[in-house]
């Protein structure tokens, strides 16, 4: 037992910031497995070295004491197989004028295992407003706690405030390594710059009894945001229980999943007894996508006994949610939209320009909508035109004051929700079991000059080659804006389904790739360029741009595109649209070169519906021009009811054959 003198001496050493070398030596020797950060000293100006040394000591348990004033630190790094215990009232505070790096975080848990952070009511604090102005470089990644590619992490009992990014960030340090078995409990996240919590990738995640509030600074400004950056990232067995989001400038609960595809691990997310309230701009937003040519993601998301209220828009917003793919379930939920426009629905579905899949795949069970303003229960904004709202099922109880009514959701009722343009629908042209040949015979050493049509982010080229042909293509990889880039990895899928590696195209450069065709038929060459663009400069085989899986995404390119209308076609469609306020001009010319349709400026989707003038197959032209008014950048083209192949050289076109 320590004598009174020894206790007094130890207290004096702590108060004066002295180092307790004997205790440090006991930790290093393994005699002690529990350490106190103050043994390495306490400096009220900067205690980074003390806490980091304690973390690096090998102790299984490190206690950060309440010193009566904050532990001032620069970025810290956690260690595996360790518990950090913050005493009640302890404060860990970012040092003023530091954290200049755009990814500097208060504590980083990167490629670690078995890390426990216990708060007991302690506080971690940064300086959000400082990071938003010079001399700091604008960034959104100065987190309070970042957890990347780590496992068995538990965080509890902390208040985390005023980061220059997220309160807690669950991301990737090593591609393919998700965060696994992370437990966040009894944590308050407030006044962060970007989000309370960002979940990029996680498996077996439990967040409970946690409050995320007053996020403000840079979008999305959500309470919590599930937002994978790559299709390989995972959202598997993620549970939120008894959580609250309130008074965030953005969305309360945000799900932004367009980067996930059918190739992703099926998602499984469940919210239990969670609440959105106050002045969140929107209580709940779920944004999906169609999988960028790979098909939409699969899995389930369930909201059980949740209460979504407040905001100035719908209580639940479901964007670009294809009916096939992942399913959503709302069970025993209360929806109470905030005060807003009289025609704003409590539940809003929407599609965007370029979406091709009908919207839906949602079930409501024993849910109540409380809306004294008696606004519409549900709405559907079809930004694509021609899509339907389907596979939305269940019953809803609506309450307006003393009036209660029940609604059974039926297909006929859903059809009545569609407003605005309704474009003609065409069945998808199936190419999988169709044989295609070049429209014109090919010769030895033939060249197919290409017009400079650039595609954005992703796309697929299809070429026809006879067995033994030495196929050569030249591709260009170009920058968009200031986005960084990686080399294009170029592969091809043979007619029999085998994959061949062709090489790489450096960023901001052109390069040729080649291969000897092992069989006769169609070769598909998928390209992924991130946010940047690419184009085909030259080829020695008939090559087309494929729209088999999705619309074709072009950027800032003008000129003629050709497409083939097969013999026997009764009717076909061509949809063209810009992105946002970005426009494009378009005209359709028939096989004789006669202009049949023209729109000088297209932003929202426009559709041409036509028919060939002869019983023979015909080559038609889509002429792309700069818009008569407004800016031009991203735009999209979709062929309907005919082979979804576009060519910049009419000699490259392919025709279906029996």
Whether residue 4 lies inside any domain: the answer is no
Distance CA 399, CA 100 (A): 52
Q: What is the DSSP string of 376-427?
A: -SEEEEESSSS--EEEEEEEEEEEETTEEEEEE--HHHHHTTB-S--PPP--
* Mean pLDDT for the stretch of residues 85-113: 97
Element (H, E) at 293: none
Whether residue 617 lies inside any domain: the answer is yes
Whether the per-residue pLDDT at 7 is higher than 50: the answer is: no
Q: How many other C-beta atoms are found inside a 10 Å radius of the C-beta of residue 506?
A: 12
pLDDT at 579: 81
Whether residue 6 lies inside any domain: the answer is no
Residues 185 and 122 grouped into a single domain: yes
Residues 59 and 154 grouped into a single domain: no
- Please report the beta strands in 481-558, taking only residues with DSSP state E, as ranges in sequence order: 488-493, 499-505, 509-516, 521-539, 543-546, 552-555
Distance CA 18, CA 13 (A): 5
Whether the per-residue pLDDT at 13 is higher than 60: the answer is: no
271-315 pLDDT, tens per residue? Answer: 999 999 998 889 999 999 888 767 899 999 999 999 999 888 899
Confidence label for 614 from pLDDT (cuts 50, 70 and 90): confident
* Mean pLDDT for the stretch of residues 377-405: 90
Distance CA 462, CA 432 (A): 13
Q: pTM for this structure?
A: 0.80
* Mean pLDDT for the stretch of residues 536-540: 94
pLDDT at 2: 42
Lowest pLDDT segment from 8-17, 24-33, 123-132, 313-322: 8-17
Which of residues 73, 98, 113 is at a domain's end? Answer: 73
Percent of the chain with pLDDT over 90: 81
Whether the per-residue pLDDT at 5 is higher than 80: the answer is: no
Which of 301, 295, 140 has its CA nearest to residue 221? Answer: 140
pLDDT at 202: 98
- Dihedral Cα 198, 199, 204, 206, nearest 10 deg: 20
* Mean pLDDT for the stretch of residues 560-567: 96
Tokens of 75: 């970025």
Which of 490, 495, 544, 542 has its CA nearest to residue 517? Answer: 495
Residues 280 and 144 grouped into a single domain: yes
Residues 605 and 472 grouped into a single domain: yes
Whether residue 68 lies inside any domain: the answer is yes
pLDDT at 14: 46
- Asked if 448 and 652 touch (Cβ cutoff 8 Å), the reply is yes
Whether residue 169 lies inside any domain: the answer is yes
Q: Please state whether beta strands 327-331 and 299-304 pair in parallel, antiparallel, or not at all (unpaired).
A: parallel
Residues 52 and 87 grouped into a single domain: no
Which of 378, 380, 382 has its CA nearest to residue 407? Answer: 378
pLDDT at 86: 98
Residues 133 and 39 grouped into a single domain: no
Whether the per-residue pLDDT at 76 is higher than 70: the answer is: yes
Whether the per-residue pLDDT at 358 is higher than 70: the answer is: yes
Top-confidence residue, 292 or 94: 94
- Dihedral Cα 336, 397, 414, 255, nearest 10 deg: 40
Mean pLDDT, the chain, rounded, equals: 93
Residues 89 and 32 grouped into a single domain: no
Distance CA 437, CA 544 (A): 12
pLDDT at 189: 99
Whether the per-residue pLDDT at 161 is higher than 60: the answer is: yes
pLDDT at 64: 98
Confidence label for 580 from pLDDT (cuts 50, 70 and 90): confident
Confidence label for 17 from pLDDT (cuts 50, 70 and 90): low
Lowest pLDDT segment from 70-79, 189-198, 345-354: 345-354
Q: Please state whether beta strands 435-438 and 455-465 pair in parallel, antiparallel, or not at all (unpaired).
A: unpaired
Residues 220 and 130 grouped into a single domain: yes
Top-confidence residue, 16 or 339: 339
* Signed CA dihedral, 593, 595, 600, 603: sign only: negative
Whether residue 104 lies inside any domain: the answer is yes
Whether residue 210 lies inside any domain: the answer is yes
Lowest pLDDT segment from 111-125, 195-209, 415-429: 415-429
pLDDT at 200: 98
Q: With b meaning 16 or more CB within 10 Å and e meaning fewer, what string describes 507-543?
A: beeebebebebeeebbbbbbbebbebbbbbebbbbbb
Residue-range definition of the domain harbouring residue 240: 83-415
* Mean pLDDT for the stretch of residues 71-77: 98
Confidence label for 401 from pLDDT (cuts 50, 70 and 90): confident
- Asked if 491 and 524 touch (Cβ cutoff 8 Å), the reply is no
Confidence label for 18 from pLDDT (cuts 50, 70 and 90): confident
Tokens of 309: 């209220």
* Mean pLDDT for the stretch of residues 190-216: 98
Distance CA 467, CA 384 (A): 41
Whether the per-residue pLDDT at 480 is higher than 80: the answer is: yes
Residues 25 and 129 grouped into a single domain: no
Q: What CATH number is attached to the domain comprising 225?
A: 2.160.20.10
Residues 147 and 199 grouped into a single domain: yes
Distance CA 173, CA 301 (A): 26
pLDDT at 10: 43
Residue at token pair 């091809």: 492
pLDDT at 243: 99
> What's 323-373 look like in SS3?
CCCCEEEEECCEEEECCCCCCCCCEEEEECCCCCCCEEEEEEEEEEEECCC
Residues 260 and 129 grouped into a single domain: yes
Give the long-range contacts of residues 591-598, CB within 8 A, separation 24 or more: 591/565, 591/618, 591/619, 591/620, 593/621, 595/623
Residues 27 and 99 grouped into a single domain: no
Whether the per-residue pLDDT at 340 is higher than 90: the answer is: no
Whether residue 428 lies inside any domain: the answer is no
CA distances from 5 to 1, 12, 13, 608 (A): 11, 10, 12, 92
Q: How many CA within 13 A on the CB side of residue 391?
A: 16
Q: How many CA within 13 A on the CB side of residue 431?
A: 20
Which backbone phi and psi does 6 adopt, to 5 degrees?
Answer: -65, -40
Element (H, E) at 270: strand 267-272
Confidence label for 615 from pLDDT (cuts 50, 70 and 90): confident
Question: Considering all CA atoms of the chain, what is the largest pairwise distance in Å, rounded to the nearest integer?
Answer: 107
Whether the per-residue pLDDT at 267 is higher than 90: the answer is: yes
pLDDT at 421: 59
How many domains are contained in the chain?
A: 3
User: Cα(first)–Cα(last) distance of the chain, in Å?
Assistant: 94
Whether the per-residue pLDDT at 1 is higher than 70: the answer is: no
Lowest pLDDT segment from 97-101, 169-173, 430-434: 430-434
Lowest pLDDT segment from 107-116, 241-250, 427-436: 427-436
């Amino acid at each position: 037992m320590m004598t009174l003198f020894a206790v007094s001496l130890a207290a004096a050493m702590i108060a004066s910031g002295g180092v307790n070398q004997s205790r440090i030596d006991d930790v290093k020797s393994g005699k002690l497995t529990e350490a106190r950060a103050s043994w390495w000293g306490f400096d009220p100006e900067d205690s980074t070295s003390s806490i980091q040394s304690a973390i690096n000591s090998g102790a299984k348990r490190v206690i950060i004491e309440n010193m009566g004033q904050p532990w001032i630190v620069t970025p810290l790094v956690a260690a595996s197989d360790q518990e950090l215990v913050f005493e009640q009232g302890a404060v860990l505070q970012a040092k003023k004028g530091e954290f200049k790096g755009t990814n500097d975080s208060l504590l980083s848990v990167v490629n670690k295992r078995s890390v426990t952070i216990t708060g007991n009511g302690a506080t971690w604090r940064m300086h959000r407003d400082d990071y938003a102005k010079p001399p700091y470089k604008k960034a959104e990644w100065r987190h309070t706690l970042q957890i990347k590619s780590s496992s068995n992490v538990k965080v509890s009992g902390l208040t985390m405030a005023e980061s220059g990014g997220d309160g807690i960030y669950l991301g990737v340090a090593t591609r393919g390594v998700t965060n696994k078995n992370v437990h966040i409990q009894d944590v308050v996240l407030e006044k962060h710059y970007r989000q309370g919590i960002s979940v990029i990738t996680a498996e077996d995640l439990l967040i409970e009894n946690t409050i995320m509030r007053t996020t403000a600074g840079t979008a999305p400004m959500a309470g919590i945001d599930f937002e994978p950056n790559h299709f390989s990232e995972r959202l598997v067995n993620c549970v939120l229980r008894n959580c609250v989001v309130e008074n965030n400038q953005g969305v309360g609960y945000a799900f932004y999943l367009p980067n996930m595809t059918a190739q992703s691990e099926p998602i499984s997310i469940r919210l239990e007894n969670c609440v959105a309230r106050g002045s969140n701009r929107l209580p709940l937003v779920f944004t999906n996508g169609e999988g960028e040519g790979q098909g939409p993601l699969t899995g389930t998301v369930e909201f059980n006994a949740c209460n979504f209220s407040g905001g100035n828009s719908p209580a639940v917003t479901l964007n670009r949610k294809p009916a096939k793919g992942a399913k959503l379930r709302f069970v025993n939920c209360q929806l109470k939209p905030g005060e807003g426009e009289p025609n704003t629905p409590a539940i809003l579905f929407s599609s965007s320009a370029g979406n091709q899949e009908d919207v839906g795949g949602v079930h409501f069970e024993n849910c109540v909508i409380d809306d004294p303003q008696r606004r519409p229960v549900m709405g559907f904004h079809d930004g694509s035109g021609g899509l339907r709202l389907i596979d939305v099922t269940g019953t809803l109880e609506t309450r307006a004051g003393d009036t209660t009514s029940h609604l059974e959701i039926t297909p006929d009722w859903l059809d009545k929700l569609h407003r605005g343009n309704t474009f003609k629908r065409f069945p998808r042209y199936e190419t999988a079991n169709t044989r295609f040949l070049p429209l014109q015979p090919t010769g030895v050493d033939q060249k197919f000059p290409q017009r400079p049509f650039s595609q954005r982010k992703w796309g697929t080229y299809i070429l026809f080659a006879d067995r033994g042909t030495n196929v050569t293509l030249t591709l260009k990889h170009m920058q968009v804006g200031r986005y960084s880039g990686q080399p294009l990895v170029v592969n091809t899928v043979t007619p029999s389904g085998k994959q061949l590696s062709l090489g790489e195209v450096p960023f901001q450069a052109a390069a040729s790739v080649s291969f000897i065709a092992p069989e006769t038929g169609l070769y598909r060459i998928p390209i992924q360029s991130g946010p940047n663009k690419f184009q085909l400069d030259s080829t020695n085989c008939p090559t087309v741009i494929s729209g088999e899986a999705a619309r074709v995404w072009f950027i800032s390119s003008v000129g003629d595109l050709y497409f083939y209308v097969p013999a026997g076609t009764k009717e076909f469609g061509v949809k063209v649209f810009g992105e946002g306020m970005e426009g494009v001009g378009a005209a359709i010319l028939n096989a004789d070169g006669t202009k049949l349709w023209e729109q000088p400026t297209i932003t929202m989707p426009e559709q041409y519906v036509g028919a060939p003038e002869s019983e023979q197959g015909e080559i038609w032209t889509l002429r792309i021009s700069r818009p008569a008014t407004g800016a031009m950048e991203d735009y999209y083209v979709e062929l309907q009811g005919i082979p979804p192949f576009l060519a910049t050289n009419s000699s490259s076109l392919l025709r279906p054959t029996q």
